[in-house]
Structures are given as C-alpha cells and as structure tokens.
Amino acid sequence: MSLFDMTGQVALITGSSRGIGKATAEAMAEQGAKVVISSRKQHACDATAADINARFGKGTAIAVAANISSKDDLQNLVNETRAAFGRITTLVCNAASNPYYGPGLGISDEQFRKIMDNNILSNHWLISMVAPEMLERGDGSIIIISSIGGLKGSPIIGAYGISKAADMQVARNFSVEFGPRGVRVNCIAPGLIRTDMARALWENEENLRRSTAASTLKRIGEPHEIAGAAVFLASKAGAFTTGQTIVCDGGATISGGA
C-alpha cells in the first residue's frame, strides 16, 4: 500500500469548489478518500462533486454549501458530513477571504474584521467542531492553508498576511494540545498560485513579473502543486509531521530575487 493512500478516510475541505481546495479534493479522491465539497454556492459545490464522482466513482463526493462566516453553516457542514460518511478523518481549512488590497492605513474596520473572522475565527470554529471525534479516536489530520504572506510584510496584503501568520500559530498551539492523543495539525503556506482568489495579483503583469522574478523556479504555482502537500499531511506519509508550516512557493521566500 502506498504511503499516500487515503482509502477509508473522509476529508472535509472548505473552499473546495475551485482553486486549491478543488485540486486538494481531487487529489485526495484519487488516493481513495471520500471528500466533502463546500463553498458558499451550492451549484458550484454540486458541479465539483459531480465531476469527482464521475471520475472516481459514485459516492466519492458530496456537496454541502456553507458560508465560513456563519458558525451555524459550519456546524451543519460537519453534521452533514457525519450523516453521509459517519466520521471525519481529515479537515482542510482552505476557505479564506481578502476584500482589501492596499496599504494598512487604508483598510476599514469592517474589512479588517472580515479578514480576521474568515481566516482565523472560522478555522478555530471548525477545528473545535471536528477535533473532539478525532481525539476520541486517537487519529486525525487537520490542515490549514495559510500563505507565505504570513512570513513576511506586505504593502498590499498586510491584513491578510497577519491572518495567515495567526493560522500558523493556531496550528502550533493545537498540535501541542492534540499531539499526545494522536491528532496532527499543520499548515501549508503557498506562494502565488493561479487561483481566482489571487487573480488581482497574478493578472497584474507587473506584479506577476516581480513575483516570479523573486522565485527560484521563475514561475507562478498551480493549484495541484499545493494539493500534493495536503495529501502528504493527511496520509501515512505525514504521520510524524505536526505543528509545521510547509512552504510551497517556488523558492520565493528564500531567493531574494537572485
């Protein structure tokens, strides 16, 4: 059996109707997991689940719409997952928001709170809902999709970076709490990836040129290149990894543009 095999696992993945979340759901389904597709719009979730079921077999995926800003929506998402598959073995907190691009002094209170609530508090809610069953079972993997924005300052996405730095600490804290009972908690920190959420960054030719010039691979990343790290963390391959942030950025944070 492959170290990356996920047969028998149930993965709940937020923000999974497109981008990194969708690629992660596809990769986990390919490794044998049952997957739960969730984003704000039911029709988008339905389309992604249908595609996965067509590729990997009927019953592989279900679709449950949820707004991460609503605690009730998230609890319903967890309840529907358990009703369909009986348990949750992997949680991927991927959904996030960034309603503001610009200097820190220009952000409104409403925008700042939305970033913090959606990118930190919602993850805390979901982990609190899912972790108890993992702890009781003595096994489970929780993955937060963070960002290299949490590792450095930015004049454009500063508040987003603050939220993503906090996610890394969430993973560290919960890994300390949950580790003795067999539950692992980690982050993945992507660089610039070709997703709809990051479109404002990579569609800007100057920003794209600057970002790719600063990376050692000299190119933008693709969603499936983050999904591989998620499969690693959810499978036996990552069984001794916890409390870590895996940086997947094409070398952007280590090259200095050289």
Catalytic residues: 160
- The Cα 52–Cα 64 span in angstroms is 14
Q: Which of 195, 242, 211 is nearest to 24 (CA)?
A: 195
Q: Which of 22, 38, 19 is nearest to 30 (CA)?
A: 22
Q: Is 194 exposed, middle or buried (0-12, 13-18, 19+ CB in 10 A)?
A: middle
> Which residue carries 């919960």 as its tokens?
174
- The Cα 39–Cα 42 span in angstroms is 7
- The Cα 22–Cα 92 span in angstroms is 11
- The Cα 66–Cα 247 span in angstroms is 28
